[in-house]
Amino acid sequence: MQGSAQPVLLLRDIRKTYPGVVAVDDVDLELFPGEIHALVGENGAGKSTLASIAFGEVRPDRGTVEARGAVGLVHQHFELAGRLRVWENVLLGREPRRGWRIDAAAAHAHVIALAQRNGLEIDPDAFVDELPVGIQQRVELLRELDREPAILLLDEPTAALAPAEIASFFATVTALAKRGTAIMIVTHKLAEVMAYAHRVSVMRHGGIVERTLAVQTSGEQLARAMVGGDLPPVAARAATTHAPCLRVADLHGGEDERAVRGVTFEVRSGEIVGIAGVEGNGQSALADALAGVIPYRGTIERPPHARIGIIPQDRLAEALVPNWSIVENAILGRQYRARSRRGMLIDRVHAREDARQIVERYDVRTPSLDATVKHLSGGNQQKVVVGRALIDAPSLIVAYNPTRGIDVGASALVQSRLMQARNEGAAVLLISFELDEILSLADRILVMYRGTIVGAFEREAVERAQIGRLMAGIA
Amino acid sequence: MKRTLSTLSGPLGAILLIVVLMSLAMVVAGTSPIDGFSALFLGALGGRNELGETLVATTSLLFPALGITLAFRAGLFNIGAEGQLLMGGLFAGAVGAAIALPPVVEITLLLLLGAVGGGIWGGIAGWMKARFGASEIIATLMLNFVAAFLALDLVSGPLKGPLASGAETAWLAPQYWLPTLLPHTRLSIGLVVALAIAVVLQFVFTRTVFGYDLRAVGEAPEAARRSGIDLRRLTWLSLALSGAIAGVGGAVIVTGELHRFNTQLSPGYGFTAIAVALVGDLNPLWVCVAAFGFGILEAGGLAMQASAQVPKDAIHLIEGLIILVLAARRYVAARTEVA
């Protein structure tokens, strides 16, 4: 599709440094009309910085950006006004006017026409904060499309989407490309790259290390280029002996006790139990009840004095103190343990040792142990959270989307560590929206739908299609 | 433009801006800034007596400022330091006038009673928040009024000194006065107590598990809750400790300066102290420096009024401006970080 066509976006010799790191190192990149170009790489490889430079949000230290036409950027974290309606968000700042008032009728018609033209179904009057994430993204996309960009940049667009939403999202993107928009997707989901992209550029340590056509490569090849070698092998599943560890019976909890409605299951030591399901079916209330942070009705039994490692769903709000260093965060939730204190004092030697261990074992990319956590990339923050949850060899682990937002290399590492913990006798409850993750790790799989467990499978007897149907509530 | 902004957002820029604003205030009051400033600094630092008065004001501001620092670091907006200061003074004054123990024992006891009085006052607000979810801002603010009228009532009636003409307790016997720190001035060793508390507070923040928990709650309440910290306990304990530190300040004013309790104990130290704590960036050691700066303004302001005819209210105007400058600094700093 490039052939004789002229590139609409031309990046030349782009370099951008931040204190202590070269984020983008002499990169050239061009984008042609009608192509879907995937920019892949590990966390901190420089993809998002490059996208921000292309968009004009970040100024490079040197190099030139040439764009023919408007550039649109859909952020990884949506930037929407939640208390406003869909049409208000789409037209924010460009509302049609009649005198000094907003012409609501014209705005309405405009948004409906825009949505239809792009094959995106939407209710223009819905309040944005009442919509599921998939639809919110549609709002964000519509807002960008309304500016009729020649170039559309999408930063980790599918990070928060359910499988069905991902398929419809890519249908939209493919249609846009067919009509001539140049599209660049920043991602680390290689399956999506292989399925939908035309060209792929792989970034590592700020530079582009491989450029190829999607049809001429494979997921494994891209993964190797991203990590600069072979992926760390996921630890093998070892034979374990089981003893009861966590027993949950007839659990009700969450908003009006309706998020979780009568859930019963057991996790034994030496096994990983996976909870599969689409986001919003009671998983977060289940995790909160197990963490003891919301009231519940029913039974949660675990051995007295069991050490519990928890990986919460929202790392910045629930697991880390963003303004603190890695060292200080390394003992959060462990500050009362004998290892972390000497009487009433914090044991600073152990705290630093543990932080170093987390950084080394999980390959946290940071200038120093004293770096503020909010300045790490999302993936590296997640590695700190996972490393801390597993550092005390817990006998029970509750992991909520443990690899969310982290790249293939780090994901494999985290999954490996969970498997090792299981092999060493930990009971692991894995709540994940990534079905593949559950299929590869879990010994037993439970499917959660609307607050109840609607199916249970042993590892040996898994039927993927059946699980998919149960997740969607059609079985 | 950006460079100008970032220079202004540094500490030097803030000081420069404050000096400019003060000069303006002096011009408006009809005095040349040179006369005004020289009156201010001579009045605050020009001699032993002047320095003594400045440090007396520093001490009186430092206790409530350190208490406020503790609460703010825990994410609790304690604006009731004024009432806590008053209750600490009341406890010390009422008991000090009534009992006779060996001087060292009694003075120690009176300072501890100050902590108890202020601690109870802060603790009530903490309990209201922990138990019923009441806003600590409203609770601490309102308790200021309760403290003022309760104290006035008590020293007008049951606690009124037998020989007192106004609403105040009996005088403390001179052996129960805090020893003088700087001879021939009113400065007592209360300053040393305040500085010691600042050092201890800094140690608690950086080295202890309690301080760790407290800062975690202040920085990221949800992450703190999930880490197993008992939020209710931390809430009432922080406000009680915050009040206790302010309360010691009240006892120091009573035993070191007034030598009796009356409700004119504080001309609003508990409120000015909020600015002191914020100027000190909620770091106990910098709060000491900030308290000295405000001490200069408080003591020098009186001299400025006398010799340069700038009304003392101009000082309060300036204190207000300082808070505005600081708020603007934070805003500019946040903006430059984003850009």
- Residues of A whose CB is below 8 A from B224: 321, 332
Which amino acid is residue A406, in one-letter code? I
Mean pLDDT for all residues in chain A: 89
**pLDDT tier, B335 (very low <50, low <70, confident <90, very high otherwise):** low
B42 inside domain: no
8 Å CB contact of A321 and B224: yes
C-alpha to C-alpha distance for B92 and B252, rounded to whole angstroms:
9
B226 inside domain: yes
B39 inside domain: no
Residues B193 and B213 grouped into a single domain: yes
HSE on the CB side for A367, CA within 13 Å?
Answer: 14
Instruction: Give the nearest chain B residue to A347 (CA atoms).
Output: B207
C-alpha to C-alpha distance for A296 and A254, rounded to whole angstroms:
7
Any CB–CB contact under 8 A between B227 and chain A?
yes
List pLDDT tens digits, range A157-195.
887 676 777 888 898 899 999 999 999 999 878 888 999
User: pLDDT at residue A27 above 60?
Assistant: yes
User: pLDDT at residue A452 above 70?
Assistant: yes
B22 inside domain: yes
B276 inside domain: yes
H helix or E strand, kind and range, residue A73? strand A71-74
Residues B7 and B123 grouped into a single domain: no
Strand order in the sheet with A260-268: A260-268, A244-253, A296-301
8 Å CB contact of A318 and B226: yes
B241 inside domain: yes
Residues B11 and B64 grouped into a single domain: no
C-alpha to C-alpha distance for A43 and A405, rounded to whole angstroms:
8
Residues B299 and B336 grouped into a single domain: no
Any CB–CB contact under 8 A between A58 and chain B?
no
Q: What is the pLDDT of residue A80?
A: 85
User: pLDDT at residue A90 above 50?
Assistant: yes
Residue A200: exposure state from Cβ atoms within 10 A (0-12, 13-18, ≥19): buried
Averaged pLDDT for residues B8-19: 68
Rounded to a whole number, what is the largest CA-CA distance in chain B?
Answer: 67
Percent over 90 (pLDDT), chain A: 51
Kindly list the structural domains of chain A, giving each domain's residue range(s) and its CATH number in brackets, ordered by start: 9-227 (3.40.50.300), 231-307+393-475 (3.40.50.300), 315-392 (no CATH)
Contact present, A442 and A273 (Cβ < 8 Å):
yes
**Is beta strand A151-155 parallel, antiparallel or unpaired with respect to A244-253?**
unpaired
**How many contiguous H segments (helices) and E segments (strands) does chain A have?**
14, 22
Q: What is the pLDDT of residue A358?
A: 96
Contact present, B169 and B259 (Cβ < 8 Å):
no
Q: What is the pLDDT of residue B2?
A: 42
- What is the distance of C-alpha A239 from the center of its chain? 31
**pLDDT tier, A460 (very low <50, low <70, confident <90, very high otherwise):** confident
Any CB–CB contact under 8 A between B232 and chain A?
no
Q: What is the pLDDT of residue A246?
A: 95
CB pairs under 8 A between A and B: 55
Q: What is the pLDDT of residue A20?
A: 64
Angstrom distances, CA of residue A413 to CA of A232, A431, B61: 7, 18, 54
CATH of the domain at B214: 1.10.3470
Question: Which of these, A161, A180, A179, lies nearest to A169 by C-alpha position?
Answer: A161
Count of all residues that appear for chain A in the document: 475
Any CB–CB contact under 8 A between B225 and chain A?
yes
Which amino acid is residue B312, in one-letter code? K
Any CB–CB contact under 8 A between B224 and chain A?
yes
**pLDDT tier, B224 (very low <50, low <70, confident <90, very high otherwise):** very high
CA distance A146 to chain B (A): 26
Residues B198 and B325 grouped into a single domain: no
Q: What is the pLDDT of residue A390?
A: 95
**pLDDT tier, B5 (very low <50, low <70, confident <90, very high otherwise):** very low
Which amino acid is residue A129, in one-letter code? D
CA distance B282 to chain A (A): 15
Question: Which of these, A94, A96, A146, A89, lies nearest to A123 by C-alpha position?
Answer: A89
User: pLDDT at residue B135 above 80?
Assistant: yes
Tokens of B96: 């000090």
Residues B111 and B249 grouped into a single domain: yes
**pLDDT tier, B244 (very low <50, low <70, confident <90, very high otherwise):** very high
How many independent structural domains does chain B possess? 2
Phi-psi region of B126 (alpha: psi -120 to 50; beta: other; left: phi over 0): alpha
CA distance B249 to chain A (A): 26
Any CB–CB contact under 8 A between A324 and chain B?
yes
Compute the C-alpha angle A8/A13/A19, nearest 5°. 120
Residues B120 and B130 grouped into a single domain: yes
Q: What is the pLDDT of residue A295?
A: 93
C-alpha to C-alpha distance for A233 and A217, rounded to whole angstroms:
21
- Residues of B whose CB is below 8 A from A340: 209
This prediction's pTM:
0.80
Contact present, A287 and A431 (Cβ < 8 Å):
yes
CA distance B208 to chain A (A): 4
Higher pLDDT, B165 or B207: B207
Q: What is the pLDDT of residue B318?
A: 78
CA distance A331 to chain B (A): 9
Averaged pLDDT for residues B22-34: 84
**How many contiguous H segments (helices) and E segments (strands) does chain B have?**
14, 0
Neighbours of B107 (CB within 10 A): 23
Q: What is the pLDDT of residue A304?
A: 83
Higher pLDDT, B74 or A102: B74
Angstrom distances, CA of residue A319 to CA of A322, B72, B220: 9, 22, 9
Residues B203 and B254 grouped into a single domain: yes
**pLDDT tier, B11 (very low <50, low <70, confident <90, very high otherwise):** low
C-alpha to C-alpha distance for B144 and B83, rounded to whole angstroms:
4
Q: Which residues contact B274 (CB under 8 A, 6 or more apart)?
A: B65, B68, B79, B81
Q: What is the pLDDT of residue B6?
A: 47
B142 inside domain: yes
- Residues of B whose CB is below 8 A from A333: 226-228
Residues B283 and B328 grouped into a single domain: no
Q: What is the pLDDT of residue A205?
A: 84
Which of A253-262, A291-300, A360-369, A420-429 bottoms out in mean pLDDT, i.e. has the lowest? A253-262
Where in the sequence is the domain holding B319, given as residue range(s)? Answer: 1-29+311-339
Which pairs count as long-range contacts for A443-447, CB under 8 Å and 24+ apart, including other chains? A443/A237, A443/A271, A443/A272, A443/A273, A444/A271, A444/A272, A444/A273, A444/A274, A445/A273, A445/A274, A445/A275, A445/A276, A446/A265, A446/A273, A446/A274, A446/A275, A446/A276, A447/A275, A447/A276, A447/A277, A447/A471
8 Å CB contact of B223 and A336: no
User: pLDDT at residue B7 above 70?
Assistant: no
Averaged pLDDT for residues A107-125: 88
Averaged pLDDT for residues A66-95: 87
Angstrom distances, CA of residue A341 to CA of A331, B30, B135: 10, 61, 33
Q: What is the pLDDT of residue B1?
A: 40
Q: What is the pLDDT of residue A64?
A: 92
Residues B19 and B129 grouped into a single domain: no
B43 inside domain: no
8 Å CB contact of B219 and A293: no
User: What are the start-end ranges of the H helices in A36-145?
Assistant: 47-55, 86-90, 104-117, 133-145
Tokens of B307: 């010799």
Residues B90 and B153 grouped into a single domain: yes
CA distance A320 to chain B (A): 6
List pLDDT tens digits, range B284-318.
999 999 999 999 988 888 888 887 777 777 777 77
Any CB–CB contact under 8 A between A247 and chain B?
no
Sign of CA dihedral A439, A443, A449, A451: negative
Mean pLDDT for all residues in chain B: 89
Residues B263 and B318 grouped into a single domain: no
Q: What is the pLDDT of residue B333?
A: 60
